Amino acid sequence: MTTARRRVALTATLIGALAATILPATTAGAADGRAGRPSCRTVDSAPLDPEQARTADPRTAALTERGGLGDFVRRFPAALCAARNAAGAGRIVDAWGEALWRAGVDRAQGRRPGGDLPAGDDRPLYWTRVAMTIRLARWQPDFTVDAAALRQRFEDASRGLADSGFGARHGVRRIFVSGFDPFGLDAEPRRANPSGSAVLQLDGRRITLADGTPAEIQAVVFPVRYGDFDRGMVERAFGPRLAPGHRSADLITTVSQGYPGLFTLEAWAGRARSADPYTDNAGALSGGTRYHPVTAPGLGPGAEFIATSLPTGPMTAVQQPFPVKLNTTVTEIPAGASAPIDRADGPTPGSRAVAGGGGGYLSNEVAYRTNRLRLELAPQLPGGHLHTPVLTGLPEQTDRLTGPLFEQNEAAIAGEVLEVLRHTAAG
């Protein structure tokens, strides 16, 4: 089955699943999820985490509505109320999460009408997901559920982790990429993340590489939250792509937003977290600083630094509209020393990692985790990390959600991510 036909079949399956979950509740008069079965109820007083609390800003709901995804938020409570037991609840959150992911991808690729925001805008998917997690937290069924497990299942499915894998035949190169949610939202809730935008536009796409080889791209989008990394989300996403089978990739790269005005290919990923006092989207700290780096909980064994194995020469040949540079800098504590130093030419033997080229935050950690796993499961595969330019151009008027410069810059970055990936043909 071709990728396009598989997408159509998946969409039909999800539509059927959603209809099955919605209809029992709506036909009983539970359009808002508060009635239906007498024992199904929601509460408005459920505590919100810092990420969910940002939805108090009306611009977040406007991003959902103007992205054409508002029905997901409105109908989700009624669907939850159709669950008769914990197993059914799991199937519902899987189906709705997967349908949200597919809607986000279809929207980014111009196949889903609705709303007046540009197709490539990643913010509607992000804020819709956050709003739906609030509805999930407020749901109080009359049977026991593991709320944390349901939240994780919804997060995984709505981020592309449940996708069924590559549809490519022999001779088609398979590329697996990841992006990130928006972050820094306390300072500016209108922010987007060009890495998320780019990979949404690439998921499921067939492209032609620079040497004429056909390729298929599959993608996921990660949260900017330490806790999800601690619980193995990165390994759940990349593990099946690095093990033999129909979901395996020929090349992997993680993508995140990095520096102003340029793309960087990171030559080194470091093992440490060292980003404090900067918090994640949930308001959490890493526990590590430049002078006291820490290792993430549950991280498997590995070197202090891992080198990229991407074809950096061909990839850095792309120079328009932004330059692409190989970044060889790291921060380390040299062997026998106690203070960190910055090095422009990579780590020295026996040193302890403080930061890779991507710093000591989750951009660096996603690169380290994926490439540690690559070395364990498929060491011959090319893998590494790409930083995009910082996305700029939001209007100064804070009530405006978008503007021509913002949209132009987001489109330009996404287009160049595709062009850089086209130049992985030599890998």
Query: Mind listing the pLDDT tens digit for each residue in 159-209?
Result: 999 986 888 678 899 999 999 999 999 999 999 999 999 999 999 999 999
Is residue 208 within 8 Å of residue 421, measured between CB atoms? no
Name the percent of the chain lying above pLDDT 90.
84
Query: Can you give the pLDDT at residue 279?
Result: 96
User: pLDDT band for position 57 (50/70/90)?
Assistant: very high
* Nearest Cα to Cα of residue 34 among 84, 96, 76: 76
Q: Find all residues with CB under 8 Å of 266, minimum gap 6, and list them.
A: 308, 327, 356, 357, 358, 364, 367, 384, 385, 386, 387
Q: What percent of the chain has pLDDT over 70?
A: 90
How sure is the predictor about 298, in pLDDT bands with cuts at 50, 70 and 90?
Answer: confident
Count of C-beta atoms within a 10 Å radius of residue 184? 14
Separation CA 322–CA 265 (nearest Å):
13
More confident residue, 37 or 163: 163
Mean pLDDT, all residues of the chain: 91
pLDDT at 169: 74
18 falls in which pLDDT band (50, 70, 90)?
A: low
- Residue 244: the pLDDT is 86
For 86-133, how does the pLDDT look when each residue is reduced to its tens digit (9 = 90+)? 999 999 999 999 999 999 999 999 999 999 999 999 999 999 999 999
pLDDT above 70 for 38 = no
> What's the whole-number mean pLDDT along residues 1-7?
48
What's the pLDDT score for residue 247? 79
What kind and span of H or E run contains 330? strand 330-333
At residue 322, the pLDDT reads 98
pLDDT, one tens digit per residue, over 277-296 is 999 999 999 999 999 999 99
Return d(Cα 346, Cα 374) in angstroms, integer.
Answer: 20
Task: Give residue 33's pLDDT band: very low, low, confident or very high (50, 70, 90).
Answer: very low
- Report residue 426's pLDDT band, with 50, 70 and 90 as the boundaries: low
Q: Are 288 and 273 contacting, i.e. CB atoms less than 8 angstroms apart?
A: yes
* Residue indicated by tokens 């972050």: 183
Which residues are registered as beta bridge partners of 326? 265
Q: Which string of DSSP letters, residue by residue, matches 380-417?
A: TS-EEEEEEPPP----SSTT----HHHHHHHHHHHHHH
pTM (global) more than 0.85: yes
Q: What is the dihedral of CA 115, 261, 199, 396, to 10 degrees?
A: -20
Q: What is the pLDDT of residues 218-236, one digit of tens each?
A: 999 999 999 999 999 999 9
Q: How buried is 61 (Cβ within 10 angstroms: 0-12 exposed, 13-18 middle, 19+ buried)?
A: middle
Look at residue 246 in the predicted model and tell me its pLDDT. 77
C-alpha torsion angle, residues 387, 346, 317, 203 (rounded to 10): -30
Residue type, 138: R
pLDDT given for residue 29 in this prediction: 36
Q: Give the three-state DSSP class for 254.
A: strand
pLDDT band per the 50, 70, 90 thresholds, residue 34: very low
For residue 341, pLDDT beyond 80: yes
